[in-house]
Amino acid sequence: MPFKKELSDVNSEPNVVPMADIMLVLLIIFMVVTPMLQKGVSVDLVRARNPRNMPDADKEDAVVVAITRDGKVFLGSDQVAEDLVAKVQEKIASRVDKTVYIKSDSRAKYERVVAVVDEVRSAGVDQLGLITERVEDRRGPG
């Protein structure tokens, strides 16, 4: 009894086009949502070669003062027009860790940054952290 080979029109290869579509949609969603995850005000940070690591600055309850390029001051995400000292004192009053972090735009006037640092220090903070961005050294060792 001879066996006949049946011809089948069934394609057993997986269709990757829908998977690629889903991956592109997820990529777009992540690209849109990621900038929104940054808390506070977005500034172009000052770059430094050897910054200290400050993991507490990324915590939800961290007290962060931001100085924008045009000199505006923000406490968290709220703009502070005046009386920064009282507002910082209010934020750190019930805290054990009285550390305040300052992130300044790299093009902000130095005079304004120094004035804000003085105001924050006069509020009675224990530690003051300046948030910077790490610059990778492009030169090789030696």
List, for residues 106-126, the tens digit of each pLDDT value. Answer: 888 889 989 999 998 998 888
Structural domain boundaries, residue 53: 47-134
* 13 is a domain residue: no
* 55 is a domain residue: yes
- One-character DSSP codes across 52-91: PP-GGGGSTT-EEEEE-TTS-EEETTEE--S-HHHHHHHH
CATH of the domain at 79: 3.30.420.270
**pLDDT greater than 70 at residue 88:** yes
Q: What percent of the chain has pLDDT over 70?
A: 85
Domains contained in the chain, number: 1
* 33 is a domain residue: no
Assign residue 115 a region (left: φ > 0; alpha: ψ between -120 and 50; beta: otherwise): alpha
